[in-house]
């Protein structure tokens, strides 16, 4: 009888072509079959240039999809968006590569254009048990479907396109179990930010992390994507959740999902995609969901976060190994120890990114914004995760809630998440943001980012400062 296996090891074993040396344990070097990839205009150009120079074709073009998302403008008038010469050439080259290598491309004017990690799931191209590798670190998002998803570099993209395989090293395994129930006003974004705060930005380095427990099971698929997306911020190379009926139901409504008959056959097989009882993890961590508050980052790393009711820490109260980073972060963020987070005024508010720009995220923010106005002096923007999400929100009237509140209703793209386009913060501007990273300069040179959930961004936008969404929700009830 074979030893119990983790979900991660099951999927890796199913995709292993051969091993280079001893097989089975963490660190094993193997040749791994990759089911699908998604390409963007920013990380793929050198890979295609390498294929051209070597005279190679794409091995399985239908397994790839290309989307424009990183460098494009999100101006509501696509034709009026500002593009520098480099961005324009990257977008054009992605189109050329699609035509020359037989790969489908969603360009800037395609009605299906959007952020890669939003587009792939909403099309139904992410299926349980797959391995998906792509040139973006937040490919961990796909783990919400029971998929081994991970980011790769440009040379690996070239190898993947040419062979549909990658040389891969098996990871250690880690399970994070979160039981109990999330309190009202607390979201999946708060959950993963609290996990990162607890274990640190390097707490899962070198591991494939499986999320489990009652709190995870209770979440919808889009909320699970938020958690897997941001797991990379605590060092996880892969994030996973066992697929359930919610996942199958989500896939069944997608335009490129397998047929009803195929889904019925697959459902039984997908139910086996879970860690066996007794499977050994290299590391185990457990939390109770009821202890998780609405979270806000104060520093320049996602693990520098606190409950919104807290205050900027005093570096002398932190572990010795974290003091220097905290002092640097406070200087960059222009914050003093003991400053209550709810006293921090903002200049900008942004809802978007592959972390939190799906339809459920927009609904969460709209519930807070309805009947309210953005505070004077705050510029607020919303960039839906895909053109499809944008149309769905407009069909529900969500766009009018955002616009009436004073938000700019933008087009889809990575936008202010990484300021690789015409959306950026000015030096010194402070932004409440639903994105995934608050690194120095991430949203613009000298820009200061506070991470939080979409509903918390909405609360900050209308109050003009970091705010507890639970207070505004209670006002609505009363």
* CATH number of 115's domain: 3.30.499.10
- Look at residue 1 and tell me if it is in a domain: no
Helix (H, G, I), strand (E, B) or coil at 401: helix
Residue 146 has what pLDDT?
Answer: 98
Q: HSE (CB half, 13 Å, CA atoms) of 162?
A: 18
Question: Are both 299 and 416 inside the same structural domain?
Answer: yes
Question: Are both 129 and 205 inside the same structural domain?
Answer: no
Other CB atoms within a 10 A radius of the CB of residue 15 amount to 20
Question: Are both 384 and 423 inside the same structural domain?
Answer: yes
- Number of domains making up the chain: 3
Question: Are both 13 and 136 inside the same structural domain?
Answer: yes
Question: Are both 300 and 285 inside the same structural domain?
Answer: no
Question: Are both 117 and 186 inside the same structural domain?
Answer: no
Residue 125 has what pLDDT?
Answer: 98
Tens of pLDDT, residues 387-407: 999 999 999 999 999 999 999
- Look at residue 376 and tell me if it is in a domain: yes
Question: Are both 454 and 330 inside the same structural domain?
Answer: yes
Those residues whose C-beta lies under 8 Å from the C-beta of residue 100, and which sit 6 or more positions away, are: none
Residue 83 has what pLDDT?
Answer: 86
Question: Are both 116 and 16 inside the same structural domain?
Answer: yes
In the block, residue with structure tokens 């120890």 = 337
Tens of pLDDT, residues 99-135: 999 999 999 999 999 999 999 999 999 999 999 999 9
**Pick from 232, 263, 291: which residue ends a domain?**
291
In the block, residue with structure tokens 């899962």 = 204
C-alpha dist (Å) from residue 250 to 47, 124, 207, 266, 279: 33, 8, 28, 14, 28
Residue 21 has what pLDDT?
Answer: 79
Q: Could you tell me the residue range of the domain that residue 372 belongs to?
A: 295-477
Q: Which residues of the chain have pLDDT under 50?
A: none
- Model-level pTM? 0.97
Helix (H, G, I), strand (E, B) or coil at 247: helix
- Look at residue 408 and tell me if it is in a domain: yes
SS3 content of the chain, % helix, strand, coil (to 5): 40, 20, 40
Is there a contact between 208 and 148 (Cβ–Cβ < 8 Å)? yes
Using alpha carbons only, give the angle 245, 250, 251 rounded to the nearest 5 degrees.
100
Using alpha carbons only, give the angle 424, 414, 165 rounded to the nearest 5 degrees.
140
- Look at residue 2 and tell me if it is in a domain: no
DSSP of 25-47:
STT-EEEEE--BEEEETTTSHHH
- List the one residue out of 255, 247, 267 whose CA is nearest residue 124: 255
- Look at residue 181 and tell me if it is in a domain: yes
- Look at residue 351 and tell me if it is in a domain: yes
Helix (H, G, I), strand (E, B) or coil at 288: strand
Query: Tokens in use for 477?
Result: 């009830």
Residue 1 has what pLDDT?
Answer: 65
Is there a contact between 315 and 330 (Cβ–Cβ < 8 Å)? yes
Query: Tokens in use for 421?
Result: 């386009």
- Look at residue 333 and tell me if it is in a domain: yes
The 3-state secondary structure of 157-219 reads HHHHHHHCEEEEECCEEEEEEEECCCCCCCCHHHHHHHHHHHHCCCCCCCEEEEEECHHHHHC
Question: Are both 71 and 97 inside the same structural domain?
Answer: yes
Question: Are both 397 and 311 inside the same structural domain?
Answer: yes
Question: Are both 286 and 304 inside the same structural domain?
Answer: no
Question: Are both 306 and 190 inside the same structural domain?
Answer: no
Sheet holding 104-106, edge to edge: 37-40, 64-67, 104-106
């Amino acid at each position: 009888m074979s030893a119990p296996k983790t979900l991660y090891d099951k999927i890796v074993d199913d995709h292993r072509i051969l091993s280079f040396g001893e097989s089975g344990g963490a660190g094993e070097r193997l040749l791994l079959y990759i089911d699908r990839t998604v390409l963007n205009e920013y990380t793929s150009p050198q890979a295609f240039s390498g294929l051209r120079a070597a005279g190679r074709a794409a091995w399985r073009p239908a397994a790839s999809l290309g989307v424009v998302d990183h460098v494009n403008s999100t101006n509501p008038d696509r034709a009026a968006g500002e593009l520098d010469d480099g961005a324009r050439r990257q977008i054009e080259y992605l189109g050329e590569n699609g035509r020359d290598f037989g790969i489908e491309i969603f360009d800037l004017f395609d009605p299906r254009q959007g952020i890669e990690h939003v587009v792939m799931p909403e099309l139904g191209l992410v299926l349980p048990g797959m391995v998906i590798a792509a040139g973006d670190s937040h490919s961990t998002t796909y783990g919400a479907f029971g998929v081994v998803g991970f980011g790769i570099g440009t040379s690996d993209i070239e190898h993947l396109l040419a062979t549909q395989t990658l040389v891969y090293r098996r990871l250690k395994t880690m399970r994070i179990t979160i039981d109990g129930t999330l309190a009202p006003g607390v979201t999946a974004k708060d959950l993963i930010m609290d996990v990162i705060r607890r274990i640190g930005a390097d707490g899962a380095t070198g591991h494939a992390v499986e999320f489990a427990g009652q709190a995870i099971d209770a979440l919808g698929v889009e909320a699970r994507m938020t958690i897997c997306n941001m797991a990379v911020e605590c060092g996880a190379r892969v994030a996973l959740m066992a697929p359930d009926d919610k996942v199958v139901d989500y896939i069944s409504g997608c335009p490129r999902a397998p047929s009803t008959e195929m889904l019925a056959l697959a459902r039984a097989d997908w139910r086996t995609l879970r860690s066996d009882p007794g499977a050994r993890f290299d590391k185990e961590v457990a939390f109770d969901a009821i202890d998780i508050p609405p979270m806000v980052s104060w520093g320049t790393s996602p693990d520098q976060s606190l409950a919104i009711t807290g205050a900027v820490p005093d570096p002398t109260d932190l572990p010795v190994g974290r003091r220097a980073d905290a002092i640097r972060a406070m200087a960059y963020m222009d914050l003093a120890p003991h400053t209550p987070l709810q006293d921090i005024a903002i200049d900008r508010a942004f809802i978007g990114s592959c972390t939190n720009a799906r339809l459920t995220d927009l609904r969460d923010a709209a519930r807070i914004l309805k009947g309210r106005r953005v505070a004077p002096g705050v510029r607020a923007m919303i960039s839906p995760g895909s053109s499809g999400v944008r149309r769905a929100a407009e069909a529900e009237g969500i766009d009018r809630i955002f616009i009436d509140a004073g938000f700019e209703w933008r087009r889809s793209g990575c936008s202010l998440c990484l300021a690789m386009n015409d959306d950026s913060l000015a030096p010194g501007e402070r932004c409440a943001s639903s994105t995934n990273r608050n690194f120095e300069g991430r949203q613009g040179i000298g820009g200061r980012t506070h991470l939080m959930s979409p509903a918390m961004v909405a609360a900050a936008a209308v109050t003009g400062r970091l705010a507890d969404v639970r207070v505004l929700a209670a006002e609505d009830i009363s």
